[in-house]
Amino acid sequence: MKDFENYSLKEHNTFGIEAKCSRFLEYVSIEEAQQVAQILRESDIPYIIIGGGSNLLLTKDFEGIVVRSDVLGYYIDGDRITCGSGEVFDEVVEASLQAGLYGMENLSLIPGDVGASAVQNIGAYGAEAKDMIVSVEAVEIATGRLVTIQGKDCGYGYRQSKFKQEWKNRYLITHVTYQLSTTFEPHLDYGNIRAELERKGIKEPTAQQLRDTIIEIRNAKLPDPKVEGNAGSFFMNPIVSREKYVQLAAQYEGMPHYDVDADHVKIPAGWMIDQCGWKGKSLGRAGVHDKQALVLVNRGGATGAEIVALSDAIRKDVSEKFGIDIHPEVNII
């Protein structure tokens, strides 16, 4: 188990922001997770649990304990794959595909760890982790007990779960089990997947071709955090009433949208931010990516406070123009 004091978190957040924590604990097994749980129970200072740092914005030093999983490995049982919470999620997508298990292709290249997929209910191109998560194994911090929580009991919603709400800082996730399929059924009608496949002359893609295409699309519009610090999509796409959408669509011809149900519509936040003129613009050392307005970037040396200031300015403009409040997807600390 790693146990460091006055520890730099710069390598643990993809914005590349320099911040320190009082103590850093990293566990690699169930037993070490139980040791960490005991330390947290006996400590009188605050703590937070992080993953790969791809959904994290640090605004200051954290005067407390930061906990991270480095539980690795995975095993396949039929059409299920159980993974250590510290595994890189995209590597699990690749491993499942190589094993002839399908369903994760549309989630290709989403940054972060397996544990975060269960907390955040990650999603992209019409797919969400909740549709695949069978169970989550975790150590309950209050008791040190190893528990298994069924996916259906995790309260999953759009980028939400009980792990982010009432269960926040209650569990140390050790493993996640996903239910996949031995039959490949491509889902192509979200975003520009089908158009990109047609550009390549592919009408009926294989799972690998679909994964490769999604990776190419993401690489084309999302900056490499090693080059320009970012946390991917900074804002959640707002879900509004159908009445609100119809009202806006009458004002803004061609407004993109995705039907959620009979009464609700999802509107891309990136499109609204672009309509407000923010794409490619900067506010101090923080900026909006020039290819995807949903992504805020560290132009170099930006502080967390500068990125929050940019976020607030964007939210204000979107609210004034469209009458819609957009909310950060990232965890701001």
CA distance 78 to 307: 45
Dihedral sign for Cα 144, 146, 152, 156, please: positive
Residue 159: active-site member: yes
**329 part of the active site:** yes
Compute φ and ψ for 140, nearest 5 degrees.
-75, 120
Q: How far is residue 275's CA from residue 252's CA, in Å, rounded to a whole number? A: 10
Distance between CA atoms of residues 175 and 159, nearest Å: 19
Please tell me which residue in 23, 68, 159, 211 is annotated as part of the active site. 159
CA pair distance 77, 302, nearest whole angstrom = 45
Structure tokens at 112: 């972060």
Looking at residue 100, the DSSP 8-state letter turns out to be T
Task: Find residue 263's DSSP bridge partners.
Answer: none
Kindly provide the residue ranges of all beta strands, DSSP E only, lying in the chain, ordered along the sequence: 2-8, 20-27, 47-50, 56-57, 62-69, 74-77, 80-84, 123-124, 127-128, 133-140, 146-150, 171-179, 229-233, 239-241, 258-259, 264-266, 282-283, 286-288, 295-298, 331-332
Q: Which of 87, 233, 311, 315 is catalytic?
A: 233
Q: Please give the structure tokens belonging to residue 152.
A: 């259906």
Residues marked active site are found at 159, 233, 329
